Amino acid sequence: MNRTMADRIRARGYDDFQPSFTGVLAHIDTEGTRVGTLAQRMGVSRQAASQRLQEIEALGYLERVPDPNDGRAVIARHTPAGRQILLTAIEVMLGIESEYETILGSDGLKRLKRLLTRLADKIDPSGALESK
Amino acid sequence: MNRTMADRIRARGYDDFQPSFTGVLAHIDTEGTRVGTLAQRMGVSRQAASQRLQEIEALGYLERVPDPNDGRAVIARHTPAGRQILLTAIEVMLGIESEYETILGSDGLKRLKRLLTRLADKIDPSGALESK
DNA sequence: CAAGATTGTCAACGTGCTTTCCTATTTTGT
DNA sequence: ACAAAATAGGAAAGCACGTTGACAATCTTG
């Protein structure tokens, strides 16, 4: 699904969009999000999150600003272009979901989501990383 | 799930087992399977399949023999050690499934599988590769 | 206020894939 | 029968995305 999303977002003119971007964009809130928090939400290391962030920043969809409350921290937030691409991504996602709904039926899709959510919540609650 | 499997298979003494191996091992039938067929089943390029095959062969779980019916082709098949590890993998998989069953209930797991299978069958029937 | 913890990053490397190019064999059309 | 085309497999290079280890800067504590 993620790959399909990336393909279609690219097809809409965002040539350099990578599958890994969806996770980043989706986990940054409107007021911006710190790198560590983002990494946690994505279930990857801070370093990995930082790398994606840099790539996306280079394309102009995000910017990194120092956290006023913590000199160590950096806050990533959407640029206008980023909000634009986010809207596109949401459209694309809804489109894909509606295709799934055609295949599974409205109830089927709902049940699938519920089952997967339940599983994801119980299993490996925050990824296998912080076990360290 | 795949990562969990690999972790547990490693924990059972197969130190060098990689997550990508599950797909390979699972798609090779008892009489052996040609590289191209395997690639198709795995949904990757022949080259990728060939690479995994070489890694697994180096560890002694598979062997590659020339196809007697086609001088171009190569057949990959399990070695005794390969059948051994395959049994382990199946045990591990059943273990994981039973954990899922605890979370979702027996009916829940069955429904989940059915929904996912239905989706997988309709979507991208043989991977986005052979569209080329 | 020194000792320790936390935040982010750089650098190096691992895994799993793709693409491009190539050889060896088989199949086909005439 | 045989050249032309198709097919099977693989080597090499590169890419996407992650990891780990080491580090400087800043914050928090005893």
Q: How far is CA A99 from CA A96, A102, A127, B131, in A?
A: 5, 5, 29, 19
Quickly give B1 CA vs C22 C1' distance in Å: 38
| Model pLDDT, residue A128 | 43
Quickly give B77 CA vs C6 C1' distance in Å: 51
Residue B65 bridge partners (DSSP): B75
Distance between A124 CA and the closest CA of chain B, angstroms: 10
| Model pLDDT, residue B124 | 72
Tell me the chain B residues in contact with residue A103 when contact means C-beta distances shorter than 8 Å: 118-119, 122-123
| Model pLDDT, residue A129 | 40
**Predicted confidence band of residue A126 (pLDDT cuts 50, 70, 90):** low
Of residues B4, B111, B122, nearest to A111 (C-beta): B111
List the one residue out of B2, B30, B29, B34 whose CA is nearest residue B18: B2
**Predicted confidence band of residue B126 (pLDDT cuts 50, 70, 90):** low
Quickly give A59 CA vs D27 C1' distance in Å: 32
Give yes or no for residue B130 having a pLDDT over 50.
no
Quickly give A101 CA vs D12 C1' distance in Å: 44
**Which nucleotide shows the minimum CA-to-C1' distance to residue B50?**
D10
Cβ B85 vs Cβ A70: under 8 Å: no
**Burial letters for B69-95: b for 16+ Cβ neighbours within 10 Å, e otherwise?**
eeeeebbbbbeeebeebbebbeebbee
Q: Is B122 in CB contact (< 8 Å) with chain A? A: yes
Cβ A24 vs Cβ A42: under 8 Å: yes
Cβ B132 vs Cβ B41: under 8 Å: no
**Predicted confidence band of residue B125 (pLDDT cuts 50, 70, 90):** low
Nucleic strand D interface residues, CB < 7 Å: A 18-20, 23, 44-45, 47-48, 51-52, 70-72, 129, 132; B 34-37, 46-47, 50, 53-54, 64, 67, 70, 72-75
Tell me the chain B residues in contact with residue A95 when contact means C-beta distances shorter than 8 Å: none
Q: Is B104 in CB contact (< 8 Å) with chain A? A: yes
| Model pLDDT, residue A132 | 31
Segment A59-78, tens digit of pLDDT: 999 999 999 999 999 999 99
Give yes or no for residue B91 having a pLDDT over 90.
yes
Of residues B103, B115, B124, nearest to A108 (C-beta): B115
**Predicted confidence band of residue A125 (pLDDT cuts 50, 70, 90):** low
Half-sphere exposure for B83 (CA within 13 Å, toward CB): 7
Q: How far is CA B41 from CA A4, A87, B30, in A?
A: 19, 35, 15
